[in-house]
Protein backbone atom coordinates (compact mmCIF):
# COMPACT_ATOMS: atom_id res chain seq x y z
CA UNK A 1 0.00 0.00 0.00
CA UNK A 2 1.43 3.38 -1.01
CA UNK A 3 1.31 6.09 1.62
CA UNK A 4 0.69 9.81 1.17
CA UNK A 5 3.51 11.60 -0.62
CA UNK A 6 4.17 15.32 -0.96
CA UNK A 7 6.52 17.42 -3.03
CA UNK A 8 8.70 19.32 -2.68
CA UNK A 9 9.97 18.63 0.84
CA UNK A 10 11.39 22.11 1.31
CA UNK A 11 10.85 25.38 -0.50
CA UNK A 12 12.09 28.94 -0.09
CA UNK A 13 10.13 31.76 -1.71
CA UNK A 14 10.11 35.53 -1.60
CA UNK A 15 7.21 37.63 -0.34
CA UNK A 16 4.73 38.30 -3.15
CA UNK A 17 5.59 35.18 -5.13
CA UNK A 18 3.29 32.27 -5.84
CA UNK A 19 3.81 28.63 -4.86
CA UNK A 20 2.30 25.25 -5.79
CA UNK A 21 2.56 22.26 -3.49
CA UNK A 22 1.64 18.73 -4.55
CA UNK A 23 0.17 15.69 -2.85
CA UNK A 24 -0.54 12.11 -3.89
CA UNK A 25 -3.09 10.36 -1.74
CA UNK A 26 -2.83 6.92 -0.21
CA UNK A 27 -4.00 4.08 -2.42
CA UNK A 28 -7.78 3.71 -2.21
CA UNK A 29 -8.35 7.18 -0.72
CA UNK A 30 -10.20 9.75 -2.79
CA UNK A 31 -10.51 12.56 -0.25
CA UNK A 32 -7.65 14.97 0.35
CA UNK A 33 -7.35 17.68 2.98
CA UNK A 34 -4.69 20.36 3.40
CA UNK A 35 -3.43 21.80 6.68
CA UNK A 36 -1.02 24.56 7.65
CA UNK A 37 1.14 24.05 10.73
CA UNK A 38 3.04 27.02 12.11
CA UNK A 39 5.91 26.40 14.50
CA UNK A 40 4.70 25.37 17.94
CA UNK A 41 1.07 25.13 16.86
CA UNK A 42 -1.29 22.36 15.87
CA UNK A 43 -2.20 21.99 12.19
CA UNK A 44 -4.97 24.28 10.91
CA UNK A 45 -7.49 23.08 8.34
CA UNK A 46 -7.23 24.90 5.00
CA UNK A 47 -9.65 22.94 2.78
CA UNK A 48 -10.68 19.51 1.60
CA UNK A 49 -11.26 18.04 -1.85
CA UNK A 50 -13.58 15.20 -2.74
CA UNK A 51 -14.51 14.18 -6.27
CA UNK A 52 -12.41 17.02 -7.62
CA UNK A 53 -14.47 19.66 -5.80
CA UNK A 54 -13.83 21.67 -2.66
CA UNK A 55 -15.80 20.09 0.19
CA UNK A 56 -15.20 22.34 3.17
CA UNK A 57 -12.86 25.24 3.89
CA UNK A 58 -11.25 26.72 6.99
CA UNK A 59 -10.52 30.38 7.75
CA UNK A 60 -8.00 31.01 5.00
CA UNK A 61 -8.16 33.84 2.43
CA UNK A 62 -8.96 33.20 -1.25
CA UNK A 63 -5.28 33.44 -2.19
CA UNK A 64 -5.13 29.86 -0.88
CA UNK A 65 -6.66 27.68 -3.57
CA UNK A 66 -6.53 24.07 -4.60
CA UNK A 67 -7.24 21.44 -7.15
CA UNK A 68 -7.91 17.73 -7.16
CA UNK A 69 -7.24 15.60 -10.21
CA UNK A 70 -9.04 12.47 -11.48
CA UNK A 71 -6.31 10.28 -9.97
CA UNK A 72 -7.12 11.92 -6.57
CA UNK A 73 -3.82 13.76 -6.34
CA UNK A 74 -4.09 17.37 -5.29
CA UNK A 75 -2.37 20.75 -5.45
CA UNK A 76 -2.33 23.64 -3.01
CA UNK A 77 -1.64 27.04 -4.56
CA UNK A 78 -0.80 30.13 -2.55
CA UNK A 79 -0.63 33.51 -4.28
CA UNK A 80 0.94 36.74 -3.05
CA UNK A 81 2.98 35.00 -0.39
CA UNK A 82 3.32 36.69 2.98
CA UNK A 83 5.94 36.15 5.67
CA UNK A 84 3.29 34.53 7.90
CA UNK A 85 2.73 31.84 5.27
CA UNK A 86 5.99 30.26 6.41
CA UNK A 87 4.90 26.91 7.83
CA UNK A 88 4.74 23.16 7.34
CA UNK A 89 1.99 22.32 4.84
CA UNK A 90 0.46 18.92 5.39
CA UNK A 91 -1.70 16.89 3.08
CA UNK A 92 -3.95 14.16 4.49
CA UNK A 93 -5.89 11.50 2.63
CA UNK A 94 -8.88 9.49 3.70
CA UNK A 95 -11.83 7.41 2.60
CA UNK A 96 -14.86 9.35 1.33
CA UNK A 97 -16.86 11.25 3.96
CA UNK A 98 -19.31 8.89 5.61
CA UNK A 99 -17.16 5.81 5.13
CA UNK A 100 -14.91 4.50 7.83
CA UNK A 101 -14.21 6.28 11.10
CA UNK A 102 -13.05 9.61 9.61
CA UNK A 103 -9.41 8.70 10.08
CA UNK A 104 -6.93 10.72 8.04
CA UNK A 105 -3.38 9.81 7.10
CA UNK A 106 -0.80 12.53 6.68
CA UNK A 107 2.03 12.97 4.24
CA UNK A 108 5.50 14.12 5.35
CA UNK A 109 4.70 17.74 4.57
CA UNK A 110 6.30 20.56 2.64
CA UNK A 111 8.22 23.10 4.69
CA UNK A 112 7.74 26.53 3.12
CA UNK A 113 9.90 29.49 4.09
CA UNK A 114 8.92 32.95 2.87
CA UNK A 115 11.63 35.62 3.07
List of residues contacting other proteins (CB under 8 A)? 31, 33, 35, 40-45, 48, 55-56, 58, 88, 90, 92, 94, 97-98, 101-109
Q: Three-state SS for 71?
A: coil
> Are 88 and 34 spatial neighbours (Cβ–Cβ below 8 Å)?
no
**Among 95, 85, 84, 69, which residue's Cα sits nearest to residue 19?**
85
**Shortest distance in whole angstroms from residue 64 CB to other proteins:** 15
Q: With respect to other proteins, which residue has the nearer C-beta, 42 or 62?
A: 42
Residues contacting 25, CB < 8 A, separation 6+ = 4, 31, 32, 72, 73, 74, 91, 93
Q: With respect to other proteins, which residue has the nearer C-beta, 68 or 104?
A: 104
Q: With respect to other proteins, which residue has the nearer C-beta, 24 or 33?
A: 33
**Shortest distance in whole angstroms from residue 16 CB to other proteins:** 27
**Shortest distance in whole angstroms from residue 105 CB to other proteins:** 7
Amino acid sequence: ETGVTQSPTHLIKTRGQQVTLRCSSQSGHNTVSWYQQALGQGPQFIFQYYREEENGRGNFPPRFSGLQFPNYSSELNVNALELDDSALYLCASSLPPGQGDYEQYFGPGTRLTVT
